[in-house]
Amino acid sequence: PQGIGSPSVYHAVIVIFLEFFAWGLLTAPTLVVLHETFPKHTFLMNGLIQGVKGLLSFLSAPLIGALSDVWGRKSFLLLTVFFTCAPIPLMKISPWWYFAVISVSGVFAVTFSVVFAYVADITQEHERSMAYGLVSATFAASLVTSPAIGAYLGRVYGDSLVVVLATAIALLDICFILVAVPESLPEKMRPASWGAPISWEQADPFASLKKVGQDSIVLLICITVFLSYLPEAGQYSSFFLYLRQIMGFSSESVAAFIAVLGILSIVAQTIVLSLLMRSIGNKNTILLGLGFQILQLAWYGFGSEPWMMWAAGAVAAMSSITFPAVSALVSRTADADQQGVVQGMITGIRGLCNGLGPALYGFIFYIFHVELNELPMPESPAGGSAVTQYHLQQNSIIPGPPFLFGACSVLLALLVALFIPEHTNLSVRSSNWKKHCGSHGHPHSPQAPGEAKEPLLQDTNV
């Protein structure tokens, strides 16, 4: 088999790290180019670009997952990384094409789906949570240093060097997949030919959402995930632009903010989450995380000074414990042969939010007239000199309306989460899920009688 060594989690980790390190380098240059390209409706256009990308990813993820079940993971790792990184060199060639290709690249911007399937191929069920945690932590670690490095290189040598460096790292990632990554899908799981049919059920992006109402407990969990992740997805798409242009942060300050937030989030999702799960339980950990998220979003919404953003960022790190706690609750309460189905539902909800959230935030910025009608603010190491003048012109008691809307959404999520029982057994309520599990497996992946099931391979929505 092609590649170096046996398939391992470390192959997947390196692929993820290089891809997001390349994009992290472009954090500061992208914010500048976005404002220069769309000076009138910056937030609205940013929301539309990210929203189209997110919706296309949501629609294409199940199909790409199903195809990777047939043709192997390596070729789709190569495909997703190539098309996800394809817009990078266009930043300096043509900004309009750069943003157009970013939105269209959402069709293939599903590297995480293929990577998780790769990890599922090569790990036992009891190892999988730790392996997924390692992949997620690698994603956070790649963004800890890369924005700061990109901002420094851009200030000293110019943005062109940053774009060239990011392109080189993306090419390195592609070469790594071609040369070093071995195929993880066992030969016995492969079809006899490349013409194997893919059923609509496998490629249907709404398949996971259709099953949500089949169990009242899962319905409560999915509503909680939707109401809490919708503002998070929107915030992630626009917040760094908000810091840069509205709050007057310099490129270095934005990079430092991302680094600090990333480090605190890694600590919160490992040490703090473990302590809370043991001391106050699964459900109370979810409620605590939602409470922190409400506080963080309200603080972002009413905050008008840079120090408020830094303080709210520390709270944001604590709010990152919510989704791992939700995933742990689902994995604990669902049967082993239903893990892929239930986790697939939550993944589908999050994918939908990745499309709706950015578009919603951009639209709310637009209707509240939070726009950039002047040239980019001058660089200020303290990050506050130009803010006062801007807010005098803005004359608004709510600098960030979408964040306040997000706080209300998460408050609803908290009220819904109060009705989720701490201990439940979903297998009692989900007999028709088992039928789905039996029919949703790939027709070309017969399972030997004594083998353990691989839920993620059976539910391609993940």
Q: How far is CA 2 from the centre of its chain?
A: 30
Domain-embedded: residue 263: yes
Domain-embedded: residue 430: no
Q: What percent of the chain has pLDDT over 90?
A: 10
Residues 24 and 127 in one domain: yes
The pLDDT of residue 415 is above 90? yes
The pLDDT of residue 33 is above 70? yes
User: pLDDT of 386-412, one tens digit each?
Assistant: 443 444 344 455 667 888 888 999 999
pLDDT band of 456, cuts 50, 70, 90: very low
Residues 216 and 328 in one domain: yes
Domain-embedded: residue 199: no
CA distance 312 to 292: 10
Number of domains observed in the structure of the chain: 2
CA distance 191 to 461: 20
Q: What percent of the chain has pLDDT over 70?
A: 74
Residues 160 and 258 in one domain: no
Residues 147 and 249 in one domain: no
Residues 39 and 106 in one domain: yes
CA distance 290 to 318: 9
The pLDDT of residue 127 is above 80? no
Mean pLDDT of 127-146: 75
Domain-embedded: residue 383: no
pLDDT at site 423: 64
Q: Say if residue 1 is exposed, middle or buried (CB neighbours under 10 Å; 0-12, 13-18, 19+).
A: exposed
CA distances (Å), origin 210, targets 207, 333, 434: 5, 20, 15
Residues 220 and 324 in one domain: yes
CA distance 19 to 87: 12
Looking at residue 211, the DSSP 8-state letter turns out to be: T
Domain-embedded: residue 307: yes
Residues 144 and 242 in one domain: no
CA distance 17 to 141: 8
pLDDT band of 428, cuts 50, 70, 90: very low
pLDDT at site 310: 86
pLDDT band of 303, cuts 50, 70, 90: confident
Residues 43 and 135 in one domain: yes
Residues 296 and 367 in one domain: yes
Domain-embedded: residue 190: no
Which stretch of 188-202, 222-236, 283-297 has the lowest confidence by average pLDDT?
A: 188-202
The pLDDT of residue 215 is above 60? yes
The answer to whether 462 touches 117, Cβ cutoff 8 Å, is yes
Looking at residue 374, the DSSP 8-state letter turns out to be: S
The pLDDT of residue 170 is above 90? yes
CA distance 352 to 363: 17
Q: Which of 212, 245, 235, 222 lies closest to 319, judged by CA?
A: 235
∠ CA(339), CA(190), CA(15), 5° rounding? 65
Residues 167 and 217 in one domain: no
Mean pLDDT of 165-181: 92
pLDDT at site 191: 52
The pLDDT of residue 363 is above 70? yes
Domain-embedded: residue 408: yes
Domain-embedded: residue 200: no
Q: Say if residue 420 is exposed, middle or buried (CB neighbours under 10 Å; 0-12, 13-18, 19+).
A: buried
pLDDT at site 72: 77
Q: Round the average pLDDT of the chain to a whole number and report it.
A: 75
Residues 135 and 232 in one domain: no
Provide the domain limits for residue 347. 209-372+400-422
Structure tokens at 421: 């029982």
Which residue would you say has higher pLDDT here, 45 or 375? 45
Mean pLDDT of 425-441: 42
- Phi/psi for 65 (5° steps) reads -65, -45
∠ CA(81), CA(90), CA(162), 5° rounding? 85
pLDDT band of 171, cuts 50, 70, 90: very high
For the CA atoms of the chain, what is the radius of gyration? 22
pLDDT at site 146: 86
pLDDT at site 398: 60
The CATH number for 17's domain is 1.20.1250.20
